[in-house]
């Protein structure tokens, strides 16, 4: 951590600041510049709040040097984390894992049919929403527990492990008992109470990036889960809010190589929600693979025209199958196996 003192701060006031910092158990290096003095704080600064140092009226700015995340950082954990779900290994070098399924679970027939279809095309896990975060209180909120029961049926029939979204800390136990990967949605990325509860389990967590979160904030949310004792975090880029209005959100594919460099956690891409238009899923999926993601989570619906929600962004099974074939082609070229 670096503390920049204001220009013309007296020697006495600089010394006071130094004593204050040393009292926190840190060492201090003093850099006397032309305009101002800069203090280098040496030691474990991860628990020091820069705002507290800003209270000293002689402090101009405080800059953090070390990343505030330790457990999520590749610096202290150089090897890739591989999250195992059944015999699927997400994040393993050379693997490209595709999770597919409908936005919402709607009926037994629907979820089983989709599960069978996506399995045939090469998907390794089944997704489906049982609890739905909706901007409007008047929109369909999901089948809830019944939706989870239907997902389990589909798992029994197909063997595909299931992924579904949690919205409340009250449901952590239910989810741990019934699903294979618990998804945390973009709007709950900083629902810290929920993250703490999930940190107490060892269930794999798919942590979506918040709509306007930085990569650092995203990794800090992963850090909440890791710090609680659960090492099984999969990151998921799903589009950020920008000024563009043509697409619903803007898929940030450059976040993938950034996250792979900063962290050892696997990262997958959701090409369906970000654009909000089914015809964009194919090019974005191809790009996600080429940019280095560890997998995809794609919406597939057996009858998009009647979907209760979000149909506009879903592929039908035939489109999904065609996409999978194309991706296998590219994958062969860059050593990624679907």
| Sites for a copy of itself among residues 264-283 (CB under 8 A) | 274-277, 279-280, 283
Nearer to a copy of itself, 22 or 326 (CB): 326
Binding to a copy of itself in span 48-77, by CB under 8 A: 49, 51-52, 54-56, 61, 63, 65-66, 68, 75
Minimum distance, C-beta of residue 272 to a copy of itself, in the bound complex (Å): 12
Total binding residues toward a copy of itself, as defined by CB under 8 A: 109
| 318 binds a copy of itself, rule: CB under 8 A | no
| 109 binds a copy of itself, rule: CB under 8 A | no
Q: Name which position in 10, 15, 29, 202 contacts a copy of itself (CB under 8 A).
A: 29
x-or-dash string of contact with a copy of itself, 165-184, rule CB under 8 A: --xxxx--------------
Task: Give the 3-state DSSP-derived string for the chain, with helices as H, strands as E and coil as C.
Answer: CEEEECCCCCHHHHHHHHHHHHHCCCEEEEEECCCCEEEEEECCCCCCCHHHHCCCCCEEEEECCCCCCCCCEHHHCCCCCCEEECCEEECCCCECEEEEECCECCCHHHHHHHHHHHHHHCCCEEECECCCCCCCCCCCCCCCHHHHHHHHHHHHHHCCCEEEEECCHHHHHHHHHHCCEEEECHHHCCCHHHHHHHHCCCCCEEEECCCCCCHHHHHHHHHHHHHCCCCCEEEEECCECCCCCCCCCECCCCHHHHHHHHECCCEEECHHHHHCCHHHHHHHHHHHHHHCCCEEEEEECCCHHHCCCCHHHCECHHHHHHHHHHHHHHHHHHCCEC
Binding to a copy of itself in span 122-151, by CB under 8 A: 133-139
Question: Segment near a copy of itself (CB under 8 A), from 122-130, 154-162, 172-180, 186-194?
Answer: 186-194
Q: Name which position in 148, 181, 236, 289 contacts a copy of itself (CB under 8 A).
A: 289
Question: Segment near a copy of itself (CB under 8 A), from 90-98, 153-161, 173-181, 224-232?
Answer: 224-232
Nearer to a copy of itself, 32 or 318 (CB): 32
| 110 binds a copy of itself, rule: CB under 8 A | no
Minimum distance, C-beta of residue 262 to a copy of itself, in the bound complex (Å): 7
| 299 binds a copy of itself, rule: CB under 8 A | no
């Amino acid at each position: 951590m670096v503390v920049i003192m204001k220009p013309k701060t007296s020697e006495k006031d600089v010394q006071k600041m130094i004593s204050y910092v040393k009292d926190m158990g840190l060492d201090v290096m003093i850099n006397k510049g032309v305009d101002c003095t800069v203090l280098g704080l040496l030691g474990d600064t991860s628990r020091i709040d820069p705002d507290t140092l800003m209270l000293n009226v002689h402090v101009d700015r405080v800059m953090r040097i070390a990343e505030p995340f330790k457990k999520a950082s590749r610096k202290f954990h150089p090897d890739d984390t591989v999250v195992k779900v059944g015999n699927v290994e997400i994040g393993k070098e050379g693997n490209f894992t595709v999770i597919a399924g409908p936005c919402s679970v709607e009926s037994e027939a629907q979820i089983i049919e989709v599960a069978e279809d996506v399995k045939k095309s090469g998907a390794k896990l089944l997704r489906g929403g049982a609890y739905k975060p909706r901007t409007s209180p008047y929109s369909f909120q999901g089948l809830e527990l019944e939706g989870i029961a239907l997902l389990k049926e589909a798992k029994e029939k197909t063997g595909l492990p299931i992924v579904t979204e949690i919205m409340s800390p009250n449901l952590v136990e239910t989810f741990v008992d019934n699903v294979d990967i618990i998804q945390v949605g973009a709007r709950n990325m900083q629902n810290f109470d929920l993250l703490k509860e999930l940190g107490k389990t060892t269930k794999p967590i798919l942590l979506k990036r918040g709509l306007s979160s930085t990569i650092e904030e995203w990794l800090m949310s992963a850090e909440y889960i890791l710090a609680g004792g659960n090492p099984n975090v999969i990151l998921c880029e799903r589009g950020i809010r920008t000024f563009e209005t043509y697409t619903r959100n803007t898929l940030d594919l450059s976040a993938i190589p950034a996250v792979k460099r900063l962290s050892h956690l696997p990262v997958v891409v959701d090409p369906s929600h970000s654009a909000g238009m089914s015809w964009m899923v194919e090019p974005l999926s191809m790009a996600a693979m080429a940019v280095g993601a560890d997998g995809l989570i794609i919406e597939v619906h057996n009858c998009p025209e009647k979907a209760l929600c979000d149909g506009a962004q879903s592929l039908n099974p035939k489109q999904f199958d065609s996409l999978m074939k194309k991706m296998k082609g590219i994958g062969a070229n860059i050593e990624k196996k679907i």
